[in-house]
Amino acid sequence: MRLEIVEPALDEADSARRYYATINGELGDAFASELQRSIEWIVEQPLAWAPIGRRARRRLLNRFPYAVIYRVEADLIRILAVTHQRQRPGYWRGRV
């Protein structure tokens, strides 16, 4: 399966990494590593995580209060958001 990460999700991931790096440089690196690990797990088993709504799924990150919102299509996994768990639910729906 191919992987596509929409631009707003890339921006969200970078913003979160920069935020954690301001607290501690190693924490920013840890966030980036955990996000990468989560994306790898999604690619390996895209249907393993909880569905949200009709067509999207959510994979919670370990250690950080973030989630990866993604959609599985025929031959594509599209990451729609890297969202803080306290973010307004469904704000990313227009990205589908």
**Over the stretch 47-76, which tens digit does the pLDDT of each residue have?**
999 899 889 999 999 999 999 999 999 899
Q: What is the CA radius of gyration of the chain?
A: 13
Per the CB < 8 A criterion, the answer to whether 1 and 46 are in contact is: yes
For the stretch 10-54, pLDDT in tens is: 999 999 999 999 999 899 999 999 999 999 999 999 999 989 988
Looking at the DSSP bridge assignments, the partners of residue 68 are 59, 82
Domain boundaries, the chain: 2-88
Write down the CATH number for the domain with range 2-88: 3.30.2310.20
pTM of the model: 0.90
